[in-house]
Amino acid sequence: MKLLILNLGSSSIKYQLIKKKQILAKGLIERIGMYGSRIKHTFLKEKIIYKNIYNHFIGLKEINNLLCNCVIINTYEIYAIGHRIVHGGFFFMKPTIISENVKKKIKELFNIAPLHNRINYMGIEISEKIFQKSIQVAVFDTEFHYTIPKKAYLYAIPYEFYLKHYIRSYGFHGISHKYVSKKAIQYLKNKKAKLITMHLGNGSSITAVDSGVSVETSMGFSPNSGLIMGTRSGDIDSNIIFNTLKKGFKIDELIDILNKKSGMLAISGYSDMRDIKKRYDKGDKKAILAYEMYSYRVKKYIGISISVMNGVDALIFTGGIGENDMLMRQLICENLDFFGIKLDNKKNNNLLKNNNVNEIQVKNNKVKILVIKTNEELQISKEILSILNVKK
């Protein structure tokens, strides 16, 4: 039984073809719609294909061609397609087999997650045409956060907004937070561990995980809240929106600005942290400020998470920035000694690449600092097998 997992991000597509936990082929299309887009495809060995990938539709067609040329004879071999869907809203609290009604509900959430749900939906539509015999399954990023208590997920606005319009904090990146928290619990051999999982990438979020359960998270009603991100603003004063509307801005214009023209892009001129790091190393003041602002916001949410759980056993870095940017990890961990968080710079700068889990705290430190490679695709495959009642 072969499962194809599709994970569409705002500027990327990750994919894995999995059979019985074994990855048959995998890949990453990155910088979609930007200069320097490329495909990293791995079957037996990795190859890098430099190609203009103007949109996600072209990306998915390329993935299909690559798989048919190396590991499958035809699309009928793929039993199910797993789709990462960013926002499940009030409708979906567990993985769901996709039907026309499910698609309709996902479309209703476009306005809440404009950068992602529309792209996720497009992935479903294309997959249904290419993989006509495959079962299509939606796995939601919001699912892991439904354990957050009511006192945390409600907003201090009239209750009817929650009852009639389902306005509440939902949280996102749940698939990644769930995967790395399970890995950390297994690694620490402590089911009751208090963890702070930090998924840091083009989209970024922090989750407080107590005994394997999400109890607080930085993202809220939409993926635009919380931390500063590649093109998203993160937390801002709501009156900024009202003030700009009074000055003649249109609603759609503001949505576009806050989701696509803000964050690191607005601060530094670049949305990709790798580009910003190059400018940082050259002493660019905007790049330095971007690093300072990003790490500062992360530190704030670390403090929130510790206070919510009344302690912390491990701090976990994951995601593209969390796993690869040693400078950002250093800046985030600076001046957290009061909480028992002490980074070993030598370990931080020399991760063992073959390790799925790297410890980077100083020797004999009570609070662990872990770098864990996330694998949302593997977690999605587990969710699919669970809902289809198939043995893992």
Task: Name the E strands within the chain.
Answer: 2-8, 12-19, 22-30, 38-43, 45-50, 78-85, 96-97, 135-140, 194-200, 204-210, 213-217, 314-318, 357-359, 368-372
14 marked as part of a ligand binding site: yes
252 is catalytic: no
Residue 383, annotated ligand binder? no
Residue 200, annotated ligand binder? yes
322 is in an annotated binding site: yes
What's the one-letter identity of residue 95? Answer: P
Q: What are phi and psi of 311, to 5 degrees?
A: 140, 175
Q: Is 274 annotated as a binding residue?
A: yes
Distance (Å, whole) CA 265 – CA 263: 5
Say if residue 303 carries a ligand binding annotation.
no
Token pair in block for residue 62: 């390329």
Give the integer Cα–Cα distance in Å for 214 and 34.
35
Q: Any binding-site annotation on 199?
A: yes
141, 210, 313, 325: the active-site residue: 141
Q: Which residues of 350-379 are buried (b: 16+ CB within 10 A; e: fewer)?
A: ebeeeeebbbbbeeeeebbbbbbbbbbbbb
Establish whether 376 is an annotated binding residue. Answer: yes
Q: Locate tokens 């949305």: which residue?
A: 271
- Round to whole Å and give the CA distance between 13 and 39: 9
Nearest Cα residue to 371 out of 327, 314, 309: 314
Q: Is 84 annotated as a binding residue?
A: yes
Query: Is 34 labelled a binding residue?
Result: no
Ligand-binding site membership of 323 (annotated): yes
Query: What are the structure tokens assigned to 288, written together?
Result: 């330095």
Cα-atom radius of gyration of the chain, to the nearest Å?
Answer: 21
Q: Any binding-site annotation on 329?
A: no
Is 285 annotated to bind a ligand? Reply is no
Dist. CA 43–CA 371, nearest whole Å: 26
Known catalytic residues are: 141
State the binding site for Mg(2+): 7, 376
State the binding site for substrate: 84
State the binding site for ATP: 14, 199-203, 272-274, 320-324
State the binding site: 7, 14, 84, 199-203, 272-274, 320-324, 376
